[in-house]
Amino acid sequence: MTVREFAEMQNLNILVEADMTRDISGGYCGDLLSWVMSRAQSDDCWFTVMGNINAVAVSVLADCACIVLCENAPLDEDAKKKAEQQDVNILSSDKNAFVLASALGAVL
Amino acid sequence: MSLIELHYEVPGDDFTRAGEASGDVKRQLKQLGFEPATIRNVVIALYEGEINMVIHAGGGEIDVSIDPDRIRMVLRDHGPGIPDVALAMQEGFSTAPDNVRALGFGAGMGLPNIKKYTNDMQIETEIGVGTTMYLRVDV
């Protein structure tokens, strides 16, 4: 499933559109950046409430397919700029991480 | 002399720039054709080191030497030093302040992650003088 397909399926808001054709092969939920960085896998969809610039860096280094900000967690302005520079897809939803990850798990 | 030698200055107390060195090293290793698993090990260790420098040491400097069979990193700061390295190496131990934790850091995973993702890790530290880490990732 591509990032765009998942976004459409769950009515996600697109905050930063980079490569929406990128495939999602798994998911990861977490907000502690060191924890996420060492455990999230390449092409994971990362569900978090961390919308800061460091989350963007972690997504790049862990090579996540996209960040999904859950429960309408805000995206900082400098994080948005960084994500645009580094081609990081960022989406958001009013749903929580459990609901979104369950939906993704059901279709992967 | 290594194939490629890189040098970075890490500014202190500037979380917006933390990750620039690891991001650049990632690009370079990709261009050189290193395996994704090797790149991942290097950049996780390096990013944790950068963050530690920003949180605890007021910045520092990083030297990276890239060879076909190994990548070596030296991270040097002039911060307060680490009073008890064995304690700092334990997962979950952290001295990070609350404002840093609010950013998603300070989980006590920094040094353990660095050890986990490198083949060799040596720490030289002196109270009031600073800390130098020598890291090596084998290809």
Query: Which among B22, B43, B110 has CB closest to A34?
Result: B110
Neighbours of B116 (CB within 10 A): 15
Instruction: Give the integer Cα–Cα distance in Å for B83 and B55.
Output: 16
Contact at CB, A54 and B105, closer than 8 angstroms:
yes
Q: Convert the pLDDT of each residue in A58-104 to its tens digit.
A: 999 999 999 999 999 999 999 999 999 999 999 999 999 999 999 99
pLDDT for res B107: 82
Contact B23 A61 (CB under 8 A): yes
ipTM above 0.85, yes or no: no
User: Does residue B101 carry a pLDDT above 90?
Assistant: no
Strands (DSSP E) contained in B59-109 are 59-67, 70-77
Look at residues B51, B53, B59, B40 and name the one whose alpha carbon lies nearest to residue B137: B40
Neighboring chain B residues of A41 at a CB cutoff of 8 Å: none
**Which fold, B4-138?**
Heat Shock Protein 90 (3.30.565)
pTM of the entire predicted model: 0.87
Domain boundaries, chain B: 4-138
Backbone Cα Rg of chain B: 14
Cβ contact A38–B47 (<8 Å)? no
Assess whether pLDDT exceeds 80 at residue B13: no
Residue B19: per-residue pLDDT: 85
Q: Which domains does chain A have, with CATH numbers?
A: 3-107 (3.40.1390.20)
Higher pLDDT, B20 or A12: A12
